[in-house]
Amino acid sequence: MKLSSSLTAAAVVSLSALGSVKAQQTQPACSSIYTRPEILSLTPSQWSNISGVLGAMQRDGWFAWFAYLHNQWFGQIHGNSQFFPFHRRFVQDWESVGQRYSGSFVQPYWDEMRDYRAPASSQVLTSNWVGGNGQGANNCVVNGNQGGWTMTFPNNHCFPRSFGNNGNPTSWYSPEYIQSIIQRDTTMAQLRPDIEYSLHGVVHINIGGDMAQGYSPNDWIFMLHHANLDRLWWQWQTSNNRMWVMDGSNYDNTQITLNTNLAYYNTPVRNVMQLGYGSMCYQYASNPLTRRDLVSSIEATLADTLPKGVLSTWFPDTAKVKGPVVDMVRPPSAVVTATPGLTRGSGIPYPAQMTEAWIQMHHYNKTDVNRVNNDARNFVIAMNSAGYKSPV
Ligand SMILES: [Cu+2]
């Protein structure tokens, strides 16, 4: 008797949960779904197919078109809640153009956090892939798939990069910090600045050249970068029932809703929220390396290292699953021994921050930027004080 009534209650709950998901989704399910891989997991033939399509897209003016679009709508798509949904549609738009050239074209992502300690040493930034820093007076890139290209927007210029900190960009954001944001933030009004003013801004600035301009899509790193940010948003959406969370302000300072239209694209935000529906027919491959690092090594290290209070403050989801183990294995006092380590290789280094010029170019709210910077620094101090040693 008791058993059957609780079963009925569970069935009602799951049916109504299903019903509310269906009510939000107005687009048909995709008949097939393709996978965006991490760039370093591409086989040589996949990479030659992709770089061949990119060359054809450059010849036909598509780099210039996407650079123009991004530059034209710049003020509407940054610094407000359009940021994630607009860039999701924008990268998918780009990818769909690529698919006109080759049916198997997909837009990979770059798991940039894995390279956070020494970004310039990333394999991605070598002649095997997208090439490295620019050379000479005009910072022209000479290697990689865009080496020697002439970009045509806003006028003809060699394809440039100008790595930050005189060619040796300082560390950007650790996978631990990004995971902490994903676990702590419950609204789009929190998630958007926490990502836009940290990893998003610092990668643009530290790659430099066209990546630090309104026409940043001239550099294909833009697409790798925004696919990664889109993947992080998706990870956030698919944890803790946040699939349909959309709040905060639109570019005109009204409240954004699922029915608000995207900037430029004549389609409501709702239509890009759920991957696998409508024209969002893609998913993300989990990077085998990231998956091992993030899901097991990092979580295990966090849970083994951090006192329960620190773990639950910065990693509430991990704490729910693994938190109690720490206090049982050893008391918090035993692990709070290290002083904040600021050098590479010992604990987590402080992340680079956005430059004043970049903040002004976007008209970002300085109070929000300072809050994000302080949070990132406090995170580093908390981890290092607890003696955390990152496996990444
Ligand atoms: Cu952008």
Burial 88-108 (b: 16+ CB within 10 A, else e): bbbbbebbebbeebeeebbbb
Tokens of 246: 């959309």
Q: How far is the CA of 255 from the centre of ligand 1 (A)?
A: 20
Give the model's confidence band at 21: pLDDT under 50 very low, under 70 low, under 90 confident, else very high. low
pLDDT digits (tens, 9 = 90+) for 231-270: 999 999 998 999 999 999 999 999 999 999 999 998 999 9
Q: How far is the CA of 193 from the centre of ligand 1 (A)?
A: 13
Q: How far is the CA of 253 from the centre of ligand 1 (A)?
A: 19
Tokens of 42: 């591409």
Domain layout of the chain by residue ranges: 292-385
pLDDT at residue number 295: 53
Please tell me the distance from the alpha carbon of residue 54 to that of residue 129, in angstroms, as a whole number: 12
Query: Residue 127: CB partners within 8 Å, gap ≥ 6?
Result: 143, 144, 147
Please tell me the distance from the alpha carbon of residue 149 to that of residue 162, in angstroms, as a whole number: 15
What amino acid is encoded at 24 in this protein? Q
CB-CB neighbours of 229 under 10 Å: 22
Q: How far is the CA of 382 from the centre of ligand 1 (A)?
A: 31
Q: Annotate 219-263 with three-state secondary structure.
A: CCHHHHHHHHHHHHHHHHHCCCCCCCCCCCECCCCCECCCCCECC
Please tell me the distance from the alpha carbon of residue 304 to that of residue 5, in angstroms, as a whole number: 41
Q: How far is the CA of 75 from the centre of ligand 1 (A)?
A: 9
Could you give the residue ranges of the DSSP H alpha helices within 306-385? 308-314, 316-329, 332-335, 356-362, 366-385
Q: How far is the CA of 198 from the centre of ligand 1 (A)?
A: 14
Q: How far is the CA of 341 from the centre of ligand 1 (A)?
A: 33
Tokens of 258: 């699922």
Q: Report which of 330, 341, 266 is spatially closest to residue 303, judged by C-alpha positions.
A: 330
Give the model's confidence band at 341: pLDDT under 50 very low, under 70 low, under 90 confident, else very high. very low
Percent above pLDDT 90 for the chain: 74
Q: How far is the CA of 127 from the centre of ligand 1 (A)?
A: 26
Q: How far is the CA of 92 from the centre of ligand 1 (A)?
A: 14
More confident residue, 171 or 5: 171
| 8 A C-beta contact, residue 384 and residue 376 | no
pLDDT of residue 287 exceeding 90, the answer is: no
Query: Residue 113: CB partners within 8 Å, gap ≥ 6?
Result: 172, 173, 174, 175, 178, 199, 290, 392
Tokens of 205: 């600035």
Query: Residue 367: CB partners within 8 Å, gap ≥ 6?
Result: none
Residue 38 DSSP one-character state? B
Coil, strand or helix at 111: coil
Q: How far is the CA of 1 from the centre of ligand 1 (A)?
A: 58
pLDDT digits (tens, 9 = 90+) for 83-139: 999 999 999 999 999 999 999 999 999 999 989 999 999 999 999 999 999 999 999
